[in-house]
Chains A and B, each alone.
Chain A
Amino acid sequence: MLSYIAQRAALAIAVAFTVSLAAFMLLNIATDPAYAIAGEDADPEVIEQIRQRFGLDRPLWVRYGDWLAGVLRGDFGVSYYWNKPVATLVAERVGTTLTLAFSALMVTIAIAIPLGALAALNRNTWIDRFALWLAVSAQAVPNFWLGLILIILFAVMLPIFPVSGDHTWQHFVLPAFVLGASSVPPVMRLMRTGLIEVMGADYIRTARAKGYRSGALLMRHALRNALLPVVSVLAVQLGQKVGGSVITESVFAINGLGRLALQSILGADIPTVQILIFLFALVFVGMNLLADILNAALDPRIRIG
């Protein structure tokens, strides 16, 4: 088990650095940071000065080495746009985004797991058809549009929740629902097909031959097996939620990392964008690692190789 986790952790670290390298290269090739700092119409001399001052005249890989060394020391660099250390910008906002992502995950779990299980147990009935219809529809709704519609419905026409901002828990209700809804279709489908598959497995027939029925059969023999793949996907979804916060936070004007990312892109603030991409990837990789560990804990086939 320890060697399994060590192996997954090593892979996670390798992935995180590959991602940071890819993001660094792509961003620095896509645009010239010197222009970004100086502005579109700056004259060549100014740009040359900026290049020298920020060390942008050095080769790309040297700059990456520098950047990486900084990140490893905890020095995330300074934002061109906000004129603040990136670390400060991130620290101010990380709590908001994590709150949003976790509440969204709760929304996903609360809707997707029971609905998927109900659909599986009532296969080919109206419950099942409703659940599948809901999944197909939810997949087709543009996330940002859902946010706007909910604002119109529940903040303007029926003023139950605030329109935007992030001061109280009420501010998080609509955004969490919007962000959580996007993960409902995949998680629900997985729960449904997983449980259908498990209920048809030979070991369930064995349990029935021992006199297990309905509720006891589900709780004591089927659920754990069906939840195994769902756990991995939930962790991955949480990782994606942090990335997906860009849209939700922009729609609801929540001052989190997602909105910071959009503002930094529009402000051509490459140091901030780089760090955010790296951090989001790190969260994703960390969540994946967590999923591997949870799976090992729940599944003896992984735990005892």
Chain B
Amino acid sequence: MSESTQSRPVVDPVSGRTPETEIPASPGQLARARAWHHRGFQVGAGILLALVLVAIFAPFLAPHSPYQQSLPNRLLPPVWVEGGSWEYLLGTDHVGRDYLSRLIHGTRVSITIGLGAATIGLIIGVTLGVLAGYFGGWVDHSVSFVLTAQLALPGLLLAMALVFFIGPSLLVVICIIGALGWTYYLVVTRSATQHIRSLDFVAAARASGATPRQIIWHEILPNLSSKIIVIFTFELGIAILAEASLSFLGVGIQAPTPSWGLMIAEGKEAMFYRPWLVVLPGMCLFVLVIAANLMGDGLRDITSPEEKS
């Protein structure tokens, strides 16, 4: 990429930009330009976007109600298996609910929990990480200790116990998974903040009389944003799998809500003869999570090409 293709002369009387002023691409614009050429990012982001749309418009897309039971139509196979029908494209479950409709509505549960939990983890982890990295000393020591303790906790087991004892609901699942899933944010933002804190532009800002708050908001967070977005996409996948595991074990989302993990658990009873009951929701989980991971990998390459491995 040559300089000339990145620059465009702009005249703007308001801001006093003159015709000869170049507006070279910002780091963000360069990243967006790279995104157009990153196959993994395109695939991941495309699938993710499509699934978010499915989640939003689920009631319009689903051919049946996900809750409507129909005992005469129990355990129908998908359309391509003998005995399947176009009425129930992917067949029905053990109480005769349309499997396709349940899978479509399951997208909502997974994406809501993924976004919610990853956001809660972000707020906790980034706050602690930036504070520990910036102030060091006893702040850093205490945060590191909390981190070590959190890592030592068997997260899944504790999440299972807490969700089940408090009472499983969507909100509880989001809060518990989010509150246990901040370590990755913390580790990365802490060391990145330590590094940025040691750079001379922070010293220059301090010498200009900037307060810690101004330095954190103006100098440090803009340099962390791309790293945080990358972790967010990975945490999205991790949270989605965690919810599926809890629901599968019976201590997460409860019937009759359509959660993919719960559907696998329900389908397990009949899986030797009707494997699609287990295979289909698992495939959905796989596609959603791999899309998030591909997008995360892509974002990492795009935002920090120097760290590309």
Contact = CB atoms under 8 A, between A and B. Distances in A.
Contacts of B148: 11, 15
Contacts of A193: 309
Contacts of A31: 165-166
B279 A149 contact: yes
Contact of B289 (A140, A148, A152, A192): A140
A277 interface: yes
A68 B252 CA distance: 30
A80 to B, nearest CB: 13
Interface stretch (A47-55, A84-92, A211-219, A262-270): A262-270
Contacts of A273: 157, 161
B286 A285 contact: no
A212 B264 CA distance: 54
Interface stretch (A19-27, A102-110, A168-176, A297-305): A19-27
B152 A15 contact: yes
Interface residues of A, number: 51
A142 interface: yes
B145 A15 contact: yes
B297 A148 contact: no
B151 A26 contact: no
A177 interface: no
B249 A247 contact: yes
B251 A265 contact: yes
A69 interface: no
Contacts of A192: 309
Given A15-B149, A148-B278, A193-B309, A261 B157 contact: yes
Given A18-B149, A136-B297, A142-B261, A152 B278 contact: yes
B160 interface: yes
A137 B153 CA distance: 26
B245 A142 contact: yes
Contact of B290 (A18, A137, A280, A285): A137
Interface string B134-150: 00000000000100110
A144 B245 contact: yes
Contacts of A71: none
A161 B293 CA distance: 32
A142 B241 contact: yes
Nearest to B265: A144
Nearest to A264: B161
Which one of A14, A136, A145, A276 has the greatest number of beta carbons of chain B within 10 Å? Answer: A145
B96 interface: no
Which one of A142, A193, A242 has the greatest number of beta carbons of chain B within 10 Å? Answer: A142
A140 B153 contact: no
A135 B204 CA distance: 42
Which one of B145, B148, B272, B278 has the greatest number of beta carbons of chain A within 10 Å? Answer: B148
B237 interface: yes
Contacts of A261: 157, 160
Contacts of B161: 27, 30, 265, 273, 277
Nearest to A145: B282
B278 A26 contact: no
A149 B268 CA distance: 10
B154 interface: yes
Contacts of B84: none
B293 A140 contact: yes
Contacts of A151: 271
Nearest to B307: A193
Interface string B269-283: 001100100110010
Given A19-B149, A285-B152, A148 B157 contact: no
Given A246-B156, A246-B160, A266-B250, A27 B145 contact: no
A144 B248 contact: yes
Contacts of B249: 144, 246-247, 250, 262
A264 to B, nearest CB: 9
Which one of B149, B155, B160, B294 has the greatest number of beta carbons of chain A within 10 Å? Answer: B149
B47 to A, nearest CB: 11
Given A140-B290, A148-B271, A265 B154 contact: no
B299 to A, nearest CB: 13
Interface of B: 145, 148-149, 151-158, 160-162, 164-166, 237, 241, 244-245, 248-251, 261, 264, 268, 271-272, 275, 278-279, 282, 285-286, 289-290, 292-294, 297, 309
Given A139-B237, A268-B165, 4 more contacts: A30-B165, A140-B237, A148-B268, A265-B164
Closest 8 CB pairs between A and B?
Answer: A243-B154, A31-B165, A140-B290, A145-B282, A140-B289, A280-B154, A30-B165, A281-B152
21 contacts: A18-B145, A26-B158, A139-B237, A140-B292, A142-B282, A143-B241, A144-B261, A144-B264, A145-B244, A148-B268, A148-B271, A152-B275, A240-B154, A243-B156, A247-B249, A265-B161, A265-B251, A266-B251, A276-B157, A281-B153, A284-B152
